[in-house]
Amino acid sequence: MTCIFCRIARGEVPSQVVYQDEEIFAFRDVNPQAPTHVLIIPRKHIAGLQELSPDDSALVARLILAAPRIAEAEDIAARGYRLVANMGPDAGQVVQHLHFHLLGGRPLRALC
């Protein structure tokens, strides 16, 4: 498989690992948009939100539940952080592998 995130999760491409377990892999973004910018991905290849099935419910919950643990470990939980998933080219999804961006470490502009 040529998916760059799959290759990163398998250790074939170097990354700065922040968290990992049997289903989840989290690493620092190479083009950070905030002082803390971590990508949280499933090890299982899922192209994006549109490809999720009901069978993926527990995996998605684990991905989201990893975010507060990572934020705590990165010392941004108390001040706040953002968790973002982009879907499709108009939203800025560049890599076709489901991933969440965990952003923090500075005040972020309000989206609403």
Q: Full-prediction pTM beyond 0.85?
A: yes
With 80 as the cut, is the pLDDT of residue 1 above it? Answer: no
In whole numbers, what is the pLDDT of the chain averaged over residues?
96
CA dist 112 and 18 (Å) reads: 29
Average pLDDT in the 59-68 region?
A: 98
| DSSP reduced 3-state for 33 | coil
CB count within 10 Å of CB 12 equals 9
Residue positions annotated with a catalytic role? 99
With DSSP H G I counted as helix, E B as strand and the rest as coil, what are the percentages for the chain, rounded to 5?
30, 20, 50
pLDDT digits (tens, 9 = 90+) for 80-96: 999 999 999 999 899 99
Averaged pLDDT for residues 48-77: 97
Give the right CATH number for 4-95 from 2.30.110.10, 3.30.210.10, 3.30.428.10, 3.30.360.10: 3.30.428.10
List all residues 6 or more positions away from 71 whose beta carbon is below 8 Å from its beta carbon: 77, 81, 102, 104
Mean local confidence (pLDDT), 67-92 = 96
